[in-house]
């Protein structure tokens, strides 16, 4: 297949490297100076240093040239860039079947990525979300990973998953687009919470309890939005949750660790150098969960820390002082 990856962050770069072995891949970055650096250095020195580009990986110059003959577009921008990217593709007559890698809920609107895309391009162009436990550094290194691909058209999803699937990057088709997106987005909130827990030195027992109760929150929220509960037992649910909450490469976990250590959010984000999608997602999920009547105490606690400056230790103490419930509730 001819693939165009739009966005040269760590994940877009890592996936481009991984897919170049079997497909003709063009990687495109929005900023001209980034495109030039990628072309000259043949690696993404700022976000994925040490991972040399395969000779076959091409760096596009203009967006039109990068996507014009592509069979599939892979939008690898942060969530904030998804709407303007698909709008530009639509306005410039460059729409092709597309999938995206970003996770979360759009700021201000609280919409899931597929809702954003549907608003901009309608239902005629097939689209889908790729999500699951996958750190960019490991994917770029050729280490094994497995992810889920959910699409608006199940036939498109199954065909695309089969075409992109390899022994090292295993891609499983999933028919629950809402569930895959909710799992991929809300697990970042739980990763921040787990990082806070570890940063406060609360121990491995507390971490396990938090991840487990976090999965219950994700499931309640997803089902309320129309997802299938079994999706959260798969790659885009518990798989991604475990990796992001425990893996040291997780940006959202690192945010939580720093908060637990007493750092301020502006300091943390300034030093991180990458987008931590969970920060913006927390605010939107906290707001939406209240509006639809879904109990999400961990999310609300993280939102109190991020949006309202509540000390991490106090937010955790409030969580620990909640009355117990039946576990399945």
Alpha-helix residue ranges (DSSP H) falling in 200-272 = 204-224, 240-246, 251-260, 265-272
Number of residues in the chain: 329
For residues 128 and 103, the answer to whether their CB atoms sit within 8 Å is no
Exposed/middle/buried for 163, CB within 10 Å: 0-12, 13-18, 19+?
middle
CA 308 – CA 57 distance, rounded (Å) = 45
DSSP 97-145: SEEE---S--TTT---HHHHHHHHH-SSS-EEEEESS--HHHHHTT--E
Q: What CA–CA distances, in Å, run from 33 to 8, 45, 74, 86? A: 12, 13, 21, 22
CA 174 – CA 197 distance, rounded (Å) = 32
Q: Which positions are catalytic?
A: 187
SS3 assignment, position 274: coil
């Amino acid at each position: 297949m001819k693939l165009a990856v739009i966005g040269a962050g760590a994940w877009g770069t890592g996936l481009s490297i991984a897919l170049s072995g079997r497909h003709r891949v063009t990687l495109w970055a929005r900023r001209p100076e980034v495109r030039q650096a990628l072309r000259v250095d043949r690696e993404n020195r700022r976000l994925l240093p040490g991972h040399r580009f395969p000779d076959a990986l091409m760096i596009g110059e203009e967006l039109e040239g990068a996507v014009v003959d592509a069979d599939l577009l892979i939008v690898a921008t942060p969530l904030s860039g998804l709407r303007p990217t698909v709008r530009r593709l639509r306005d410039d007559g460059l729409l092709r079947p597309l999938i995206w890698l970003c996770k979360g809920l759009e700021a201000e609107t609280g919409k899931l990525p597929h809702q954003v895309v549907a608003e901009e391009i309608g239902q005629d162009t097939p689209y889908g979300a790729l999500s699951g436990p996958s750190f960019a550094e490991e994917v770029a290194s050729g280490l094994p990973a497995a992810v889920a691909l959910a699409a608006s058209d199940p036939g498109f999803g199954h065909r695309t998953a089969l075409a992109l699937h390899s022994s090292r990057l295993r891609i499983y088709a999933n028919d629950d687009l809402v569930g895959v997106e909710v799992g991929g987005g809300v697990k970042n909130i739980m990763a921040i919470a787990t990082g806070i827990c570890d940063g406060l030195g609360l121990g491995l027992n507390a971490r396990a309890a938090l991840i487990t109760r976090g999965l219950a929150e994700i499931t309640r929220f997803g089902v309320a939005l129309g997802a299938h509960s079994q999706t959260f037992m798969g790659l885009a649910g518990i798989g991604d949750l475990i990796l992001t909450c425990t893996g040291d490469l997780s940006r959202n976990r690192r945010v939580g660790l720093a908060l637990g250590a007493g750092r301020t959010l502006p300091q943390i984000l300034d030093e991180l150098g990458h987008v931590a999608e969970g920060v913006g997602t927390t605010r939107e999920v906290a707001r939406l969960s209240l509006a639809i009547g879904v109990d999400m105490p961990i999310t609300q606690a993280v939102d109190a820390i991020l949006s309202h400056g509540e000390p991490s230790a106090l937010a955790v103490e409030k969580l620990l002082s909640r009355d117990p419930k039946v576990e399945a509730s």
